[in-house]
Amino acid sequence: MSVQRCGMVAVIGRPNVGKSTLINALMERKVSIVTAKPQTTRHRILAVHTTDDTQVIFVDTPGLHRQAGKAMNRIMNRTAANALADADLVLFVTDATRWTVEDEDVLKRLQGCKAPVVALLNKVDKVEPKEKLLEALSTMAERHDFAEIVPISAKKHDNLQQLMALIPRFLPESPPLFPPDMHTDRSADFHAAEVIREKLTESLHQELPYGLTVQVERYVTEERGIAINAIIWVERDSQKGIVVGKKGAVLKKVGRAARLEIAEQLGRPVHLELWVKVKANWADSEKDLMSLGYDVP
């Protein structure tokens, strides 16, 4: 049967509420990297979910946040805001255990949104006692005229089948926009860079992950496997030593973890070489951000 419904579904929320975890769970594959640190997602990433009669195009967005001092943060906020304008449906992801001023900021942005908004109370597995969930659902209903309010746990996959069954109701009748075997709009080298950045973020502490980015310079499919050369850019010389680590320990650990994950995903051996270089204040320069592969809306 040909696809009868197709549309863009923007996944919106403050940082660290589980947007990327949700998309990966709905897609049943890793499309976006996930860490415990806020603002891990920096780019707009499309995740394409196709069934016999529906194509859902999830738009994973950076978390909307207040501390938007650097150019990269401002671009991340604009990227998320632009996704709202193009959406046929908005999934507003919140943390069921707490409501913050940043959630309030996101909700204000949704007031003028033309698309229907479904509120998702994520992390319901952490709500104790369970009576508090009913209270949270009731409070959410008072905040805005949502099309639906759905309690979920992206991590535990609770209620996700019900959510997927709900989404097509809000999508327009349309032929598919992407081939049925396509799962994301991002290239293999982009994904490799993101996996490397994920492993760096997991291995480094405090603010340093926000001051680095990864650029793949070479991605070649060879007879023996995939050869990848990547540069880890930092903003200051002092950060370079932290990323490399004592006797190169951190860089080796990151390289090994990234290589194993990329190889597992591709089903082929991967040869990965990493370099750490300094580009002063790259995160506050739109020109540098564009040269490093960031989309500047």
Q: What is the pTM of this model?
A: 0.93
Mean of all residue pLDDT scores within the chain:
94
Which parts of the chain are beta strand (E)? Answer: 5-12, 45-50, 54-60, 89-95, 117-122, 148-151, 212-222, 225-234, 270-278
Q: Where in the chain is the domain with CATH 3.30.300.20?
A: 188-291
Q: What is the pLDDT of residues 228-260, one digit of tens each?
A: 999 999 999 999 999 999 999 999 999 999 999
CATH code, 5-170: 3.40.50.300
Whether residue 76 is predicted with pLDDT greater than 80 in this model: the reply is yes
Q: What is the pLDDT of residues 115-152, one digit of tens each?
A: 999 999 999 999 999 899 999 999 999 999 999 999 99
* Length of the chain in terms of residues written: 297
The number of helix segments (H) and strand segments (E) in the chain equals: 9, 9
Whether residue 294 is predicted with pLDDT greater than 90 in this model: the reply is yes
Q: Where in the chain is the domain with CATH 3.40.50.300?
A: 5-170
Coil, helix or strand for 222? strand
> Mean pLDDT across the stretch 59-67?
85
> Mean pLDDT across the stretch 260-284?
97
**What CATH class does 188-291 carry?**
alpha beta
pLDDT band for position 209 (50/70/90)? confident
Q: State the CB neighbour count (10 A cutoff) for residue 283.
A: 22
Coil, helix or strand for 129? coil
Question: Residue 114's pLDDT is what?
Answer: 93
